[in-house]
Structure 1
Amino acid sequence: MSAGRAEYRYYRAPGILERAARALLNNFVVEAVLVLLITLFYIGASGVDHVLGTRLRRTFVGMMHAVSRDRLNFIRKARMRHVFKKEYGMKKLKIKLAGGSYWLSIPCIVRGIDKKTHTEVKYLAKIMNERSAVKHRYMTLMRKMGVIAEGVDLRFDEYHCGREMGEYEKRCLERLRDASVNAPKVYGLHNLGADDYMLVMQFIEGTPLSKVTINDEIMDRLFIILRKMRENGIFHGDVKMDNFMLSGSAVYVFDCLKIDRSGAEEAAAFDLACLLCALADRAPAEAVLARARQYYSASDLERAAGMIDMALYKSDLELSEDRIKKLKQNITA
């Protein structure tokens, strides 16, 4: 079946409420007001956490993610089955959510039998659409407010649609592999009808680093990966433990986000600051920086220190004031 016929078969025109919601959320004034309100609440929750030792910020972020998270419904599963049967020669398909803290896309594990070899095969598939792009735009606007507040020279780019998100991630993963960085192979980007696009890639058996004990060996591998990315002009934009996976003795990279490459030094410093913060949440700051100094110069680390407050605007980073202080002090020591 041709791509055009597949689109025709599965196309569903958006309803009145869906069209109205899209128009509303894409309105500049509405965006500005919503981002301002969310940011004020976010900052207020952070202040309450700081004073009272609560976890209000994390609860608020979790609630926002839960409310806006897209769903893997019956129609999407039917469209996915069609693609995997026709394009990947599979039968006896089983599709389930990959789990984790997904929000900007719908990650799925697709398992089935290859019709030619009669062996079991697995793929990782991520669905992205206009809703994903809108959520990313709101997240980017909040980051831009953090840039203004912290006075750093850093620019985050936006996506116009789910197709652009899929194409960007496809290119990023291919560039990582070309730079000899472990990343899943990408097999294709498919339109599922309407504005749903599915990126199909290699399924990597492993464990996210968020669930792995962080030791010197793991830290070394992460710093090597980040340095190799920088040397090849690749910037991640969303460095966190959930976006790295340990498979055997190898660490794989996932989920790059758009970041303006015109400010290469700032982008590299931001990625390094995010990695330092993510590691300092799991290991003593002294140990983290001892490993970092094996791969980065004092000037690189000082530049990253200037990005730490900006990195902490990421909703998935929640360092205590004591850990933040120790991290900054040890960088400049």
Structure 2
Amino acid sequence: MAFRRFLRGSVPWEHLEGVTRAVMERYDEPSARVTFLDADNWLSTPFVVNDRWFVKVITQQNSLVHGLLTRGRNLGAFSSGTEGFFEHFGTPYEMAQHELAATERMRDLGIDAPEPVEAFEYEGMGVLVLSYLRDFETLDDLPRESIERHTPTVFRDLHRMHEHGLAHGDFRCENVLVADDEVYFIDATSVREDAIADARAYDLACALGALEPLVGAPLAVDAASAVYDASELLAAEEFLDFVNLRPDHDFDAAAIRGAVEKRALDNDVV
């Protein structure tokens, strides 16, 4: 537990107060009510100002942890027979800028995401500001019937990213929010553009792995196959074991393989 606390780190209270004052000044807020989110996040400290501004504070320690995670994930990609495709940025401010740009790109593609506001630097920290979604739930907190209803939208939006040369890079149900019955993507990370095909297959493997425990492999694969062809599903299959090593994924890889291979056989791909 001590090691986990070290990795997660903390932001001194006076720095959080300073960031809050900066937000108040930038957006003409006469006072601030700050709500800290119950999030197990090693890459930032998130909080909400006046139920309007979602703020992520990224420290140098968060950047260090991101670099360690990036190297570990790239080693895992090597074990799957591909080059590493995750990218790391040198400073907390660059991390904030990247997430802002990724959020803007998703919205430009017609994918629902919180409205990006800005990224700025404060005392060597990166600060990302987005609009705050009120009354949201993460995908995995919904009843099964609601998850089943939203699953086709999840794969449709992921496929739209992939069609336009964008990969999410960190698909987890915690990064899919549902507010007012609409699906929103958050926390996109960075992948190397020259390895985008592998990154897309990894994204798809993550999505199948995240949804299999919630809706079952057949339904997840059927929903994916509405927008991905059998060869793309088979490419994702190559990353299932790698994805299942992640502590935030736990799924029946054999069940997904069976459903994917059945779909491929039905389409005479294998």
Q: What is the TM-score normalised by the length of structure 2?
A: 0.91
Question: 1:262 corresponds to which residue?
Answer: 194
In the other structure, the counterpart of 2:10 is 71
Gap regions ≥5 residues in structure 1: 1-61, 112-120
Pair 1:212 & 2:127 matched: no
Distance 2:3 2:235 in 1: 32
Residue identity opposite 2:63 in structure 1: A
Q: Distance in 1 between matches of 2:201 and 2:122?
A: 38
- Segment drifting more, 166-175 vs 136-145: 136-145
Please state if 1:85 is matched with 2:24.
yes
- Please tell me the residue identity of whatever aligns with 1:75: E
Distance 1:68 1:207 in 2: 26
The match for 2:125 is: 196
Q: Deviations over 1:48-99 (max 9, x none)?
A: xxxxxxxxxxxxxx76543321324421232123212211111221223222
Corresponding residue for 1:299? 231
**Could you tell me which residue of structure 1 aligns to residue 165 of structure 2?**
233
* SS of corresponding position for 1:104: coil
Structure 1 residues 222 and 139, CA gap change in structure 2 (3 angstroms) = same
3-state SS of paired residue (1:93): coil
Q: 1:134 is matched with which residue?
A: 64
1:244 has 2:176 as partner: yes
RMSD: 1.6
- Kept after mapping to 2: 8 A contact 1:286/1:330: yes
Moved more, 304-313 or 165-174: 304-313
| Matches of 1:143 and 1:96, distance apart in 2 | 32
- Give the C-alpha shift of residue 107 in structure 1: 0.9
Aligned identity (percent) is 22
- Residue aligning to 2:117: 187
Query: Which residue among 95, 99, 110 is the counterpart of 2:34?
Result: 95
Q: Distance in 1 between matches of 2:28 and 2:132?
A: 16
Change (3 A) 1:88 1:233: same
Whole-angstrom distance in 2 between the partners of 1:99 and 1:145: 30
Residue 326 of structure 1 is matched in structure 2 by 255
Q: For the structure 1 residues 240 and 63, does the alpha-carbon distance in structure 2 shift closer, same or farther, using more than 3 Å as the test? A: farther
Q: Do the aligned partners of 2:11 and 2:59 also contact (CA within 8 Å) in 1? A: no
Summarize the Cα distance change of 1:65–1:210 in structure 2 as closer, same or farther, 3 Å threshold: farther
Name the aligned partner's letter for residue 93 of structure 2.
Answer: R
Extract unaligned runs of 5+ from structure 2: 263-270
Distance 1:69 1:123 in 2: 23
| Number of positions where the alignment pairs a residue of Structure 1 with one of Structure 2 | 259
Which secondary structure does the structure 1 equivalent of 2:133 belong to? coil
Range with bigger deviation, 83-92 or 233-242: 83-92
Residue 266 of structure 2 is matched in structure 1 by none
Q: Is the 8 A contact 1:186 1:202 kept in 2?
A: yes
Q: Which residue type is aligned with residue 170 of structure 1?
A: L
Q: Check the 8 A contact 1:186/1:200 in 2, yes or no.
A: yes
TM-score, scaled to structure 1: 0.74
